[in-house]
Amino acid sequence: MSESIKIRASVQDGLATVRLRLTHPMESGLRRDPAGKSVPADFIAELEVQHQGRSVLRCDWSGGMAPNPLLAFKFKGAAKGDRLRVLWVDNRGVRSAAEAVIG
Partner 1 sequence: MEMDTALNRTRRQTLRCGALAMLLAAGVLRPDEARAASRAGFEAQTLETALQALGGVVARQADIVLTTPDIAENGASVPVTATSRLPGTTELYLLVEYNPRPLVAAFAFAPGTEPEVQTLVRMAESSRVWAVVRAQGKLHAVAREVRVTLGGCGV
Question: Which positions touch partner 1 (CB under 8 A)?
Answer: 1-2, 15, 26, 28, 30-32, 45-46, 48, 50, 54-67, 69-77, 85, 87-89, 92-97, 99
In the bound state with partner 1, the residue whose beta carbon lies nearer, of 7 and 56, is 56
Taking the complex as a whole, the smallest distance from the CB of residue 25 to partner 1 amounts, in Å, to 11
CA distance 13 to 28: 39
CB of 63 vs partner 1, minimal distance in Å: 8
Strand 70-76 and strand 83-90: pairing?
Answer: unpaired
Secondary structure (3-state) at 1: coil
Provide the residue type at 80 as one letter. Answer: K
Q: How far apart are CA 56 and CA 62, in angstroms?
A: 20
Q: Minimum CB separation from partner 1 for residue 90, in Å?
A: 9
The smaller minimum CB distance to partner 1, of residues 80 and 99, is found at 99
Least distance between partner 1 and beta carbon 56 (Å): 5
Which residues are CB-contacts of 79 (< 8 A; sequence separation ≥ 6)? 11, 14, 102
Q: Which is nearer to partner 1, 56 or 102 (CB)?
A: 56
